[in-house]
Structures are given as C-alpha cells and as structure tokens.
C-alpha cells in the first residue's frame, strides 16, 4: 500500500485520503439535489456520464463548512463511487503512518505533517455511514 495521500481542506481542518482510494479531483460542477437524501449528501453530479452522489465531507465529519466548496475528490471503495465535496485540495504528499488516535469511525487516525494535525479518512467507513442514513 502506498503512503501517498491527497490532502484536502474541509471545515478549516486538513484531512488526507489514500491515493489508492482516489480516482480523480474535479471542479464541483452542477449538483442536482436528491429529495430525502441524508443531510451530508448535497445531491448527485454527472461526471463524464457517471452519476455520482456528492457528499459534503465537512458535514459527514460533523464540521461547519468554512468557505466555499470548490472541488470534489472522486473516491472508489468496494465498487462504490462517490464524490467528496471539499474546500480545497492542498496537495498530494507522502505521509507517515497515522500515529494519533481518534474517536471518529470515519478516520483511521491522525498524523502531524509540518506541524499540522491531518486526519486520515477511512473511505470505506465514511461511505458506509452515508449509505446507512
């Protein structure tokens, strides 16, 4: 497994998603609301013929949105695809294994990167939690 991660900014905090789970990063684009969808689901987006649920990563993590949502990070896990809406993509970086314990089931842990605590997103758990609601 690679130690490369896509670092994103959400709710004024930084999170990282393993490159192995990320298919691409794209503009937010046009989102169509879905009646009855969970609060963390902004709607769906057509991305080159694929209709993807767009999940507000800030809401899914229990954070207040800080700033405009400008990008989506398209992820795939166990045959499920979704687009996580984020404020910004910080970069793609090599990161050490997570060493900090966290209480959220949507995180694998945390790691200090250049003095900033970065939460490592558990993509499978996050997709499971969105699907359950």
Report how many domains make up the chain.
1
The whole-number average pLDDT for the span 99-119 is 89
- Distance between CA atoms of 115 and 105, rounded to whole angstroms? 24
- Average pLDDT over the chain, rounded to an integer: 91
pLDDT (0 to 100) of residue 2: 65
Global pTM value: 0.91
Domain containing residue 60: 4-131
CATH number at residue 12: 2.40.50.180
How far apart, in whole angstroms, are the C-alpha atoms of residue 26 and residue 45? 11
C-alpha pair distances (Å), 124 with each of 32, 106, 129: 24, 8, 9
DSSP 32: B
């Amino acid at each position: 497994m690679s130690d490369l991660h896509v670092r994103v900014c959400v709710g004024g905090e930084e999170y990282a998603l393993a490159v192995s789970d990320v298919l691409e990063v794209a503009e937010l684009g046009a989102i169509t609301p879905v009646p009855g969808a969970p609060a963390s689901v902004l709607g769906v987006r057509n991305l080159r013929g694929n209709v993807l649920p767009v999940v507000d990563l800030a809401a899914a993590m229990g954070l207040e949105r800080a700033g405009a949502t400008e990008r989506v990070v398209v992820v795939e896990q166990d045959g499920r695809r979704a687009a996580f809406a984020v404020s910004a993509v910080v970069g793609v970086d090599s990161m050490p294994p997570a060493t900090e314990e966290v209480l959220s089931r949507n995180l694998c842990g945390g790691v200090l990167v250049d003095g900033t605590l970065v939460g490592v997103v558990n993509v499978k758990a996050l997709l499971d939690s969105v699907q359950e609601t």
